[in-house]
Structure 1
Amino acid sequence: MGGSTGCFRSRLPPSLTTKDIHLLTLKSDLSREDIEQWYSSFVHCYPQGYLSKRQFVLYYQQLRDEYSAQLLPFIEQLFDVFDANNDKKIDFYEFVLLNVLSNNGSINEKMKLIFRFYEDDKEKHLSRDEIKEFLRHMFDLFDIPSSKSNVTDVLDRVFQKHNLTREQKINWKEFTQDVLNDQSLFRRLISVDIYRNDQFIQRSERF
């Protein structure tokens, strides 16, 4: 739940309601006892009952310290994706769901979250290289295995479908819909190359 640095009590934290606990048990598969323990730690570090964007970025950078500098802009976007009610805060409910997804979510669930990035920008267009960079950072952020050749293959197939050259850009929404609606593309994107010794491709060899 984050380190002790910056943790202090400025006022009494908001209480966790029975309804809150019930909803979280349904959404997260955590027990009531687990949720109460999480909440106790959460309000110890964030007595105001939420994380600001700055606090959220610091929290997530600690989780991904090895890549924190490269991931900074994407962590900021992740905040916007998980700020479900657009109040510029991550409350306990949103915080738990994000942690459960990050730690225990399936690759499919993580990919669907990644594809929600830029969803408010219907005109968002990205080049092949921009999509590669974005996916590389997202896969690092969520520990999703993949490889350069697989991502390149998916991009080739989607760009060909839309009659786009390598220099052109594609609408992000169109790209994500193509991948989500074609299971062969989706599986290809999140699969890894397996060598004869059955060892998965190493992170350093990605993209």
Structure 2
Amino acid sequence: MGSQHSTLDDILAEDMHHWYNKFMRESPSGLITLFELKGILDLKGINEDANSYVEQVFFTFDMDGDGYIDFVEYIAAVSLLLKGEINQKLKWYFKLFDQDGNGKIDKDELETIFTAIQDITRNRSKEPDQIVALIFEKIDVKGEGEMTLEEFIDGAKEHPDIMDMLKNLMDLTPVLEIIVAGRPMAVKD
């Protein structure tokens, strides 16, 4: 795992010209569509939850909401995920989890995202409903069955085990390596 992070650190240290060339090789138009992102990641035949997750990631990276990821959004997303401060990452996670955009995340939204992540990564170390139950048990102090951004950030920071779990579950390093390297993702059995 250490070699992946040093490789990504090396990638981030490269000059912008090199980053731009890699981006333009993948998308000569200078814009990546959702369809192109799925092609880059070789995500054919994924289930509905996994497809929904990829779409949610795309729209979270599409900061101006124009339906494309441009070079600036691409670099911002990569930098956030690899080098971002904890508050920035937690805000990004929250935006990703809040599928209906109502400013709160509930158990169903979290379970859908975690199921989708596991379908894509094939990492099933813990069942999504167990993960969600643990997060809500520790963070949803009011017992409302939903959390605001402030509750989510405060609760996650208060519980190092939850932070570690979120970091591991939400680690998009392999996806970013695929995008940067410009090669399709190998399917794991």
When the two structures are superposed, what TM-score results if normalisation uses the length of structure 1? 0.54
Name the residue aligned to 2:28.
Answer: 47
Write the letter of the residue equivalent to 1:96. Answer: I
Paired residue for 2:158, among 172, 180, 184? 184
Which runs of structure 2 are paired with 1:1-207 in the superposition (5 Å)? 30-32=13-15, 35-59=16-40, 61-62=41-42, 69=47, 71-102=50-81, 104-105=82-83, 108=86, 109-117=88-96, 118=98, 121-122=101-102, 126=106, 128-135=107-114, 137-138=116-117, 151-159=132-140, 161-164=141-144, 169-170=145-146, 172=147, 174=148, 176-182=149-155, 183-185=157-159, 187-191=160-164
Name the residue aligned to 2:171.
Answer: none
What percentage of aligned pairs have identical amino acids?
Answer: 18
Q: Is the 1:57–1:76 contact (alpha carbons within 8 Å) kept by the matching residues of 2?
A: no
Change (3 A) 1:67 1:151: farther
Q: Is the 1:150–1:188 contact (alpha carbons within 8 Å) kept by the matching residues of 2?
A: no
Counterpart-to-counterpart distance in 2, 1:41 and 1:119 = 31
Bigger CA radius of gyration: 1
SS in 2 for 1:115: helix
Number of residues paired by the alignment?
150
Question: How far is 1:125 from its partner?
Answer: 5.7
Higher relative contact order (CA 8 A, sep 6+): 2
Question: How far is 1:138 from its partner?
Answer: 4.8
1:11-57 Cα shifts (integer Å, max 9, x gaps):
xxxxxxxxxxxxxxxxx96443xx21121232233121111121123
Write the letter of the residue equivalent to 2:158. Answer: S
Counterpart-to-counterpart distance in 1, 2:45 and 2:90 = 19
Q: Is the 2:110–2:132 contact (alpha carbons within 8 Å) kept by the matching residues of 1?
A: no
When the two structures are superposed, what TM-score results if normalisation uses the length of structure 2? 0.58
Write the letter of the residue equivalent to 2:32. Answer: L
Write the letter of the residue equivalent to 1:156. Answer: E
RMSD: 3.9
Question: How far is 1:115 from its partner?
Answer: 0.9
Name the residue aligned to 1:7.
Answer: none
Change (3 A) 1:138 1:190: farther
Question: How far is 1:157 from its partner?
Answer: 3.4
Name the residue aligned to 2:8.
Answer: none
